[in-house]
Amino acid sequence: MRLKGKVAVITGATAGMGRASAVLFAREGAKVVMCGRRKELGEEIAKGIREEGGEVIFVQADVSKSEDVKRVIKAAVDTYGKLDVLFNNAGINHHEKGDPDQEPEEVWDNIIDVNLKGVFLGIKYAVPEMRKVGGGSIINNSSVNDTQADEVSMSSYHASKGGVTALTKKAAVVYAVDNIRVNAVNPGPIATELVDITWDQLNDPEIIEMRKTKQPLRRMGHPMDVAYAALYFASDESAFVTGATLLIDGGQSAAYRDVQ
């Protein structure tokens, strides 16, 4: 088991990449603290993990709120005695016109608060607990859209993910002295609720056929693909890796494509 004895907090754990990571981390021996805004769904997922033999609790929280994030970290320490891993996974986007001159200010504020401020708050409150145990691993969910743009994502989404990557590097440098590693996963076209594909639809043949044309690797990106990347950063296998970003995009960012 690659995470045996470790305690891991995963934000945005009720869907997509966060849900897959909660399942995988528990299978690999971690004691998992899931957090998200949907309490009933969170408890249902946690129950399924426990039925598989995993150790997990769910804490309802909004990562854009300081008191909520502090409560999640406290729940991890109160329940399991320490904190070793934080996966800042929670993220949102909107399907509205996202050009800078047309994006509503309230949408900008909402996306920045969840995607960027939420990562900042996670780091802020996790670091003191990780120092107590001599180190830890923080994984931030960024995106291929941190350095490239498309026409469908909100401007705030691009800005937030660029900020996450920059914050990852800053935190990696300043917390290296504490043996706290900070890295980012940078997903591309993964089938999640962010692109209107629910967990129950992941095996839908029509969706698979549609998604497999979006990148050079001709298959749908699955939430578990990102979970395995996060697992590497969470484990001691990446003990000499910090400040890194890992693309999980099926080759999307390597391919030249004409603007449609």
> pLDDT of the chain along its 260 residues, tens only?
999 999 999 999 999 999 999 999 999 999 999 999 999 999 999 999 999 999 999 999 999 999 999 999 999 999 999 999 999 999 999 877 679 999 999 999 999 999 999 999 999 999 999 999 999 999 999 999 898 887 878 899 999 999 999 999 999 999 999 999 999 999 998 888 777 777 778 778 877 777 777 788 888 889 999 999 999 999 999 999 999 999 999 998 888 765 44
| Residue 125: active-site member | no
At 258 the pLDDT is 53
At 53 the pLDDT is 98
At 214 the pLDDT is 73
At 260 the pLDDT is 46
Angle between helices 105-112 and 155-175 (to 10 degrees): 30
- Rounded to whole angstroms, the Cα distance separating 46 from 14 reads 9
The one-character DSSP state at 96 is S
Residues comprising the chain, all counted: 260
Beta strands in the chain (DSSP E): 7-10, 31-36, 55-60, 85-88, 136-141, 180-187, 245-248
Q: In what order do the strands lie in the sheet with 85-88?
A: 55-60, 31-36, 7-10, 85-88, 136-141, 180-187, 245-248
At 116 the pLDDT is 98
Question: Which one from 125, 157, 175, 256 is the annotated catalytic residue?
Answer: 157
- Rounded to whole angstroms, the Cα distance separating 240 from 28 reads 20
Domain boundaries, the chain: 7-254
Fold of 7-254: Rossmann fold (3.40.50)
At 257 the pLDDT is 65
At 23 the pLDDT is 98
pLDDT digits (tens, 9 = 90+) for 97-107: 679 999 999 99
